[in-house]
Amino acid sequence: MDERENEMSEAPLEGALLVAVDARDDDDRYDEESFDEDGKADYAKEVLEGILDRMDLETHVDIREDDERVVLDVTGEDAGRAIGKKGQTLDALQFLVNKIVNRFPDGRRYIVVDSGDYRDRHDKGLVNMAQREAKRALDQGRTITLQPMPARDRRLIHLSLAKFPGVTTRSNGEGLGRRIQIIPSSGSRGDDRNGGGGGGRGGGRGRRRRRN
């Protein structure tokens, strides 16, 4: 279940990097063909190093590359500042580098800006949290509303719970306050225990449809 977002993140980020992060940046809509040596990886590294230098961060950038994307790995003394609160600065850097490197339509490369295994750890943590909250929604027979989070993280949670039995998800709110709701479907374990749907805001919803 893809979450189609058109909103922009407006939060100011660390390291004097003020940028609106386009939620559409994470849709993986770049060409997935076999790429030749086109110099895009080196160019992306130069762009990122230039931005980090202007942010006055002591960092080093390495390239990890495969057929579908270029991963720029940020390490060094100020790598934590390059990640930022909940990865916001990392997302902003990724957005900027992709916009600069892929400003022409031909030969686009998907650029991922990472630091160590931060993105993997972050994504696994989100999925685990979402599954715990889905179980709680079923046990308590009520809708669970998560904290506000960026579009990329919401999309990951929607996908991770798409096949989770007994619940459906939707996003509510606007801008920075947009949140995911985890809703137990009618006939789920919590609804049965609470008499067929009286356990919470989502207790009577039997549809599998998710509204973004």
List the domain boundaries for the chain. 8-116, 120-193
Does the domain formed by 8-116 have CATH 3.30.300.20?
yes
How many CB atoms sit inside 10 A of residue 119's CB? 19
Question: What 3-state class would DSSP assign to 19?
Answer: coil
Asked if the model's pLDDT at residue 201 lies above 80, the reply is no
CA distance 98 to 115: 17
Calculate mean pLDDT across residues 68-94. Answer: 92
Task: Please state, in angstroms and rounded to a whole number, the distance separating the CA atoms of residues 209 and 212.
Answer: 10
Res 205 pLDDT > 90? no
Structure tokens at 126: 């989100």
Highest mean pLDDT among 3-12, 84-93, 98-107: 84-93
Under 8 Å CB-to-CB from 92, ≥6 apart: which residues? Answer: 13, 17, 19, 21, 84
Comparison of pLDDT for 137 and 108, the residue scoring more: 137
Residue 186 pLDDT class (50, 70, 90 cuts): confident
Q: What global pTM score does this model have? A: 0.60
Distances (CA, A) of 34 to 18, 87, 125, 131, 133: 34, 30, 32, 36, 40
Mean per-residue pLDDT for 44-71? 90
pLDDT classification of 74: cutoffs 50, 70, 90: very high
Using DSSP's 3-state secondary structure scheme, residue 27 falls into: coil
**54-60 long-range contacts, Cβ below 8 Å, gap at least 24?**
55/15, 55/16, 55/17, 55/81, 55/82, 56/15, 56/16, 57/15, 57/81, 57/82
Residue 127, amino acid: V
Length of the chain: 212
Q: Assess contact for 112 and 71: CB atoms under 8 A.
A: yes
Which residue has better confidence, 66 or 157? Answer: 157
CA distances from 106 to 19, 36, 95, 157 (A): 25, 13, 18, 32
120-193 sits in which CATH class? alpha beta
* pLDDT value for 8: 34
Residue 66 pLDDT level (bands cut at 50, 70, 90): low
The pLDDT tens digits of the residues spanning 115-131 come to: 988 999 999 999 999 99
